[in-house]
Amino acid sequence: MTNQDELDTILAGHMGREGALLPILHDVQAAFGYVSEEVVRRIAQALNLTRAEVHGVVSFYHDFREAPEYRPVLKLCRAESCQARGVEAMVAALPENPRVAVETVYCLGLCSVGPAAMIGHEVHGRLDAARLGALVESLA
């Protein structure tokens, strides 16, 4: 199936739904890894919106990427509760690894077992500098 067909399938699946734009963008993000300009154009056409409106939504939300991220992503929580458990010192001690994208999130809801991280849908708690380093290594 080409990307074109896949996009058509996604759009068809959401037509007629109330407030369809976010569910469509989630599906696009999951299928293609990012929301390209061409996809923005097609979504705008399908929902009878302007490209500016769709672009505005894509750029507003942290989850939607406008360019692909090919590296594996580790989402590290750096909100207050994980800060109180020492996440900032762990970040400072983390060796650079160009093969892994370590991204900041504000809260995974694991505040009682932080510092916490998420890889895909897999959650990791009670991290320390060594365990975080090992997690990043395991993705590289």
Partner 1 sequence: MTTVRISDDAAALACGADAVAAAFAKAGCMVERVSSWGMHWLEPLAEIEGQGFGPLTAEDVASVLAGTSEKAIGTIAEHPFIARQQRFTFARAGKTRPLSLDDYAANGGWAGLKRARELGPEATIAEVTNSGLRGRGGAGFPAGIKWTTVANAPGPVKYIVCNADEGDSATFADRMVMEGDPFMLIEGLAIAGHAVGAGKGYIYVRSEYPHAITKLQSAIALAVPYIAPFEVEVRVGAGSYVCGEETSLLNSLEGKRGEVRAKPPLPALEGLFGKPTVVNNVLTLAAVPFILANGAQAYSDVGFGRSRGTMPIQLAGNIKHGGLYEVGFGITLGELVNDIGGGTATGRPVRAVQVGGPLGAFHPPADFPLPFDYEAFAAADGLIGHAGLTVFDESADMSAQARFAMSFCAAESCGKCTPCRIGSTRGVELIDRIRARAGRAADKVETLPQMHNARKAPRSLAEDVTLLEDLCETMKFGSLCALGGFTPYPVLSALKHWPEDFGVGTPAQEAAE
111 contacts partner 1 (rule: CB under 8 A): yes
51 contacts partner 1 (rule: CB under 8 A): no
30 contacts partner 1 (rule: CB under 8 A): no
69 contacts partner 1 (rule: CB under 8 A): no
C-beta of 42 vs 95, nearer to partner 1: 42
Stretch binding partner 1 (CB under 8 A), from 3-11, 58-66, 93-101, 131-139: 58-66
Full DSSP string of the chain: --HHHHHHHHHHHHTT-TT-HHHHHHHHHHHHSS--HHHHHHHHHHHT--HHHHHHHHHHSTT--SS---S-EEEEE-SHHHHHTTHHHHHHHPPP-TTSEEEEES--S-TTS-S-EEETTEEE-S--HHHHHHHHHHH-
SS (H, E, C) 89-114: HHHHHCCCCCCCEEEEECCCCCCCCC
C-beta of 7 vs 35, nearer to partner 1: 35
7 contacts partner 1 (rule: CB under 8 A): no
4 contacts partner 1 (rule: CB under 8 A): no
Question: Exactly one of 7, 10, 11, 21 binds partner 1 (CB under 8 A); which one?
Answer: 21
Binding site for partner 1 (CB under 8 A): 18-23, 25-26, 47, 53, 56-57, 60-64, 75, 79-85, 105-114, 116, 118, 121, 123-126
